[in-house]
Structure 1
Amino acid sequence: MSAADGDPSLRGPRGARAEPVGDDELEGLFAPFLGHPGVLIAVSGGPDSTALAVLAARWRRARGEGPMLGLVTVDHGLRPGSAREAEAVRALADAIGLSHRTLHWRGAKPTTGVQEAARAARYRLLTAEAKARGSGAIALGHTLDDQAETVLFRLSRGSGLSGLAAMRPASRRDGVALLRPLLGLPKARLIATLRAAGVPFVEDPSNGDTRYARARLRVLAPLLADEGLSAARLALFARRMARADEALERATDQAGARIGLAPWQAGAPVRLDLAGFGELPKEIGLRLLARAIDQNGREGPAELAKLEAMLEQIYARLKGEPSPFRRTLAGALVAIRRGELCVSPAPERRKGPASR
């Protein structure tokens, strides 16, 4: 038995040896790239994003035509070796015939919530670069294993159905398409692909740092798989949640059109027929309320638990004697008046007296 045969990173479900990604799979994986003039491939130097770059370049060469591809690395400046890893990605880009640029996260770094802040900074830098280049899309190396972790992470934090749909193969952020062509592939197959091609990669040490929730979930993954909660099962669960979420979003579209008392316009209050709102299934009412608050609020998406509490307050008013209702949430004012549920921007908060 070779050393590779004994490497657990090259083992797929039930201990089967993971096979490299074949050339016959590339067209199916990268077909979504064809709808964009260019695609930026986010590459950290880890196995997932490195495999994404190698496979995308192989696909583009085989086709002989298609979108312009380029590699982009975000150096967060959080670890001493990050600059060296960015240079390794540059060398990879040269080897596979693609351009490369390193983007830097400048400024002070937070002392808590570092991973969340780094993720937000990464997307901000990537989308700005894509817009500047007119690329239209960013490719990300998320895998089946990442999808499973996301489901567990969101479940542990009490996410609703939309959150449990986890990552989508294609989504949008700030007007830029986010493509995840490897979302259906296990990490072991990507590592096998790189080993077969002799392409080196690095492992981010924070991936094994159990101070972070996702690292702790990785420790639990083999135990959960033994109980039937494998990465493939969790990803299937996410797809089913996405299917249900899509149906509920369409039902919410229809409900909004049916009970809306005025067109939904930026800067204008959302006015809904109160009696009609009360007849909606609670999940549809919750989504419609969330949309109205998102449109008129100034503080980002409202927390699900707070939305649920407000919805119950509204239904309580509908069941009893009409009484004044005026609440703020996420920078939006939600009020009941004259048979309407009205959501508008909340008044600016008054500042306290200046200290002398």
Structure 2
Amino acid sequence: MAWPLDQGEDAELLLAVAYAFPPHPARKLGVAVSGGGDSVALLHLTVRACRHQGVPVQAVTVDHRLRPGSADEARMVAALCATLDIPHHTLTWDHGPVAGNLMDAARQARSALIAGWAIKQGVTHVALGHTADDQAESFLMALSRASGLDGLVGLRRNWKGEGIDWGRPLLDATRAGLRAYLRRHGIAWVDDPTNEDPRFERVRARKAMAALAPLGIDATRIGQTLSHLQFAKWALDDMLRKAIRDHVREVAGALRVDYAGFEGLPAEVQRQVLMAGLAWLSGKAPPPRTDKQFNLLNSAREGRDVTLHGCRLRVRPDHLLLTREPRALSGLVATPGGLWDRRWRVDGPTGGDMEIRALGSAGLQACPDWRATGLSRQVLEVTPGVWRGEALVAAPCAGFGTGWTAKTDPSFATFLLSH
């Protein structure tokens, strides 16, 4: 009998992990492991599957330094990886006081840290340990926010971001099933105490799931509902891609939307166009609250400029212009060759203590021929500049400096195909 069908109770889980990244399998796979049961099960399953397939595996743990014991959990994961004979790295989120949504800030920091680690290690794909229970909880959380179809279809299974292919192989597996797997193989895990803290929305959603069980509503049933919603989402996505192909153009990292074409689209497709633009420009997830989304849509229709989600919408007589908000780029720094603002890759001559920062108004003044590009000041000021201290070395989008290139990675078109 062909592997993994001969692996008994483990066969279905091994299949899910082995074929988690269609159509392009990983050349080198990373697994994000917190030490909890879901990610530890993912790690063990991945090591088994990848050894059978001949794919190298590395593990990474992010220590958020938000509670006592997190460093011990990272060391536990490192010890497990040693027994599995795979490399392990611990990344630390160095932060001061965190304002606003702590969980969202931690999620964004974790994603950026893991992506940076993966690129340095030559890891092409990263697997995350979200489960059917996470799907169900996300659905309830979206329902509580009166989300549209995008929020209600649940977590993405595969996507590309920050130069990495990401995947959630275990979205059809339950927490109970994964813990049963761990017990079968005698593998220990750690229960995060924050999973019982009702201050967090996900914990409240988890408790609500238990209350819904008598109605026959569980993670599996919600997963089936999400599958039905996904069919409607695919149809809407087809309309969205056609609208963007016909009416939206990427220009030096900004998006120019033909206003006449935009006006003729159904209202929901208009909203989807704007949300896709915000997601690509900002790199932020989840999207803005529903009321803010419709405020943005109404602003576009009524000719009002507005700022949202670290982006700026400007309404012109014949087009809409979506750019990054200059203030959102303050303090963002990258080294040449790395990703700046999560989507710009700037390459050029090596050597020297150069860094990538926003061009800004001061940088644009140092570009004597910027008007020859045909691009507006508002577009160019939020493109990347190459700086050595306070001296501008190059601004590829503004036609300044030689030997340097700046490209969005992914481009807006590629981003759409992966979402």
Fold similarity call, TM over 0.5: yes
For residue 91 of structure 1, the aligned residue among 79, 82, 87 is 79
**Superposed, which structure 2 residues align to 1:191-206 within 5 Å?**
191-206=179-194
User: What SS does structure 2 have at the residue aligned with 1:333?
Assistant: strand
Are 1:172 and 1:178, in contact at CA under 8 Å, matched by a contact in 2?
A: yes
1:74-116 Cα offsets, whole Å, 9 max, x none, are 1111222111111111111112221111111113141653222
2:304 equivalent in structure 1: 326
1:176-206 Cα offsets, whole Å, 9 max, x none, are 1111111100111111111111111110000
Alpha-carbon distance in structure 1 between the residues aligned to 2:104 and 2:325: 30
Are 2:63 and 2:92, in contact at CA under 8 Å, matched by a contact in 1?
A: yes
Amino acid at match of 1:343: L
Amino acid at match of 1:279: G
1:335 equivalent in structure 2: 315
1:50 equivalent in structure 2: 40
Q: Report percent identity of matched pairs.
A: 34
Q: CA shift at 1:29, angstroms?
A: 3.0
For residue 265 of structure 1, the aligned residue among 251, 258, 263 is 251
Q: Residues 25 and 214 (structure 1 numbering): CA distance in 2 closer, same or farther, change over 3 Å?
A: closer
TM-score, normalised to structure 1, is 0.79
Q: Residues 66 and 328 (structure 1 numbering): CA distance in 2 closer, same or farther, change over 3 Å?
A: same
Q: Size of the alignment, in residue pairs?
A: 315
For residue 138 of structure 1, the aligned residue among 119, 122, 126 is 126
Alpha-carbon distance in structure 1 between the residues aligned to 2:41 and 2:65: 23
Alpha-carbon distance in structure 2 between the residues aligned to 1:118 and 1:295: 20
Q: Residues 271 and 47 (structure 1 numbering): CA distance in 2 closer, same or farther, change over 3 Å?
A: closer
Alpha-carbon distance in structure 1 between the residues aligned to 2:284 and 2:168: 29
Are 1:71 and 1:100, in contact at CA under 8 Å, matched by a contact in 2?
A: yes
Alpha-carbon distance in structure 2 between the residues aligned to 1:25 and 1:269: 41
Q: CA shift at 1:333, angstroms?
A: 3.5
Are 2:37 and 2:191, in contact at CA under 8 Å, matched by a contact in 1?
A: yes
Q: Residues 23 and 123 (structure 1 numbering): CA distance in 2 closer, same or farther, change over 3 Å?
A: same
Amino acid at match of 1:332: R
1:101-154 Cα offsets, whole Å, 9 max, x none, are 111111314165322222221111111111111111111111110110111112
Alpha-carbon distance in structure 2 between the residues aligned to 1:289 and 1:111: 27
User: What SS does structure 2 have at the residue aligned with 1:98?
Assistant: coil
Are 1:46 and 1:201, in contact at CA under 8 Å, matched by a contact in 2?
A: yes
User: What SS does structure 2 have at the residue aligned with 1:181?
Assistant: coil
User: What SS does structure 1 have at the residue aligned with 2:47?
Assistant: helix
Are 2:13 and 2:45, in contact at CA under 8 Å, matched by a contact in 1?
A: no
Amino acid at match of 2:42: L
Matched, 1:74 2:59: no
Matched, 1:35 2:16: no
Q: Residues 269 and 39 (structure 1 numbering): CA distance in 2 closer, same or farther, change over 3 Å?
A: closer
Q: Residues 230 and 44 (structure 1 numbering): CA distance in 2 closer, same or farther, change over 3 Å?
A: same
TM-score, normalised to structure 2, is 0.68
Are 1:221 and 1:230, in contact at CA under 8 Å, matched by a contact in 2?
A: yes
Are 1:71 and 1:98, in contact at CA under 8 Å, matched by a contact in 2?
A: yes
Bigger Rg over Cα: 1
2:265 equivalent in structure 1: 280
Q: CA shift at 1:24, angstroms?
A: 5.8
Alpha-carbon distance in structure 1 between the residues aligned to 2:196 and 2:81: 27
Are 1:270 and 1:292, in contact at CA under 8 Å, matched by a contact in 2?
A: no
1:178 equivalent in structure 2: 166
Q: Residues 41 and 313 (structure 1 numbering): CA distance in 2 closer, same or farther, change over 3 Å?
A: closer
Amino acid at match of 1:122: R
Alpha-carbon distance in structure 1 between the residues aligned to 2:69 and 2:292: 42
Q: Which runs of 5+ in 2 are unaligned?
A: 1-7, 328-419
Q: Which runs of 5+ in 1 are unaligned?
A: 1-19, 318-324, 350-356
Q: CA shift at 1:295, angstroms?
A: 6.6
Are 2:157 and 2:168, in contact at CA under 8 Å, matched by a contact in 1?
A: yes
Q: Residues 268 and 311 (structure 1 numbering): CA distance in 2 closer, same or farther, change over 3 Å?
A: closer
Are 2:13 and 2:173, in contact at CA under 8 Å, matched by a contact in 1?
A: no
**Superposed, which structure 2 residues align to 1:98-117 within 5 Å?**
98-110=86-98, 113-117=101-105
Q: CA shift at 1:273, angstroms?
A: 4.2
When structure 1 is superposed on structure 2, of 328-337 and 278-287 the one drifting more is 328-337
User: What SS does structure 2 have at the residue aligned with 1:108?
Assistant: coil
Q: Residues 310 and 81 (structure 1 numbering): CA distance in 2 closer, same or farther, change over 3 Å?
A: closer
When structure 1 is superposed on structure 2, of 176-185 and 109-118 the one drifting more is 109-118
Amino acid at match of 1:329: T
Q: CA shift at 1:167, angstroms?
A: 0.9
Amino acid at match of 1:191: R
Are 1:41 and 1:139, in contact at CA under 8 Å, matched by a contact in 2?
A: yes
Q: Residues 220 and 306 (structure 1 numbering): CA distance in 2 closer, same or farther, change over 3 Å?
A: closer
Once superposed, what is the RMSD of the aligned Cα atoms?
2.8
1:36-77 Cα offsets, whole Å, 9 max, x none, are 11111111111111111111112233x1x4321011111111
Alpha-carbon distance in structure 2 between the residues aligned to 1:200 and 1:39: 23
Are 2:127 and 2:168, in contact at CA under 8 Å, matched by a contact in 1?
A: yes
